[in-house]
């Protein structure tokens, strides 16, 4: 069972690197923002998988906090790109 989670973690890391390529060489700012959000989401999933592999439930709490920060930061950056200011 652990082997399945380890393999899925490795696949997630590879797809994170593919998204990082889009962040660096993306065609526009909006595509880069979506790629950064995708990297954040995959990192959250990776934290949960690591917590399951090492039997540490604290990683789930950390991933929930990271998900909230990722969501709020994405909304703030999208609002800044649309209006030019956050408020």
Instruction: State pTM to two decimals.
Output: 0.84
What pLDDT is stored for residue 48 in this prediction? Answer: 93
The whole-angstrom separation of Cα 64 and Cα 68 is: 6
Looking at per-residue confidence, does 87 or 56 come out higher?
56
What pLDDT is stored for residue 87 in this prediction? Answer: 65
pLDDT digits (tens, 9 = 90+) for 24-57: 998 888 899 999 999 999 999 999 999 998 989 8
Per the prediction, the chain carries an average pLDDT of 90
Phi, psi angles (nearest 5°) of residue 28? -150, 170
What pLDDT is stored for residue 3 in this prediction? Answer: 87
């Amino acid at each position: 069972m652990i082997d399945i989670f380890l393999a899925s973690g490795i696949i997630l890391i590879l797809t994170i690197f593919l998204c990082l390529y889009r962040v660096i060489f993306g065609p526009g700012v909006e595509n880069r923002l979506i790629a950064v959000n995708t990297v954040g989401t995959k990192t959250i999933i990776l934290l949960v998988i690591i917590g399951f592999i090492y039997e540490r439930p604290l990683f789930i709490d950390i991933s929930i906090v990271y998900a909230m920060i990722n969501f709020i930061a994405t909304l703030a950056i999208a609002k800044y790109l649309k209006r030019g200011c956050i408020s």
